[in-house]
Amino acid sequence: MAHEQYRSCIEACNDCAAACNHCATACLQEPDVKAMARCIALDIDCAAMCMLAAGAMARDSEQAQPICALCADICETCGEECARHSMDHCQQCAQACRRCADECRRMSQQPGEASTRGASAQAH
Domain ranges, ordered by start, for the chain = 2-123
pLDDT of 3: 67
3-state secondary structure the chain: CHHHHHHHHHHHHHHHHHHHHHHHHHHCCCCCHHHHHHHHHHHHHHHHHHHHHHHHHHCCCCCHHHHHHHHHHHHHHHHHHHHCCCCHHHHHHHHHHHHHHHHHHHHHHCCCHHHHHHHHHHHC
CA angle 35, 91, 72 (to 5 degrees): 95
Domain 2-123: assigned CATH number? 1.20.1270.360
pLDDT in tens, 53-106: 999 999 999 999 999 999 999 999 999 999 999 999 999 999 999 999 999 999
pLDDT of 4: 81
Please check the confidence at residue 37 and state whether its pLDDT lies above 70. yes
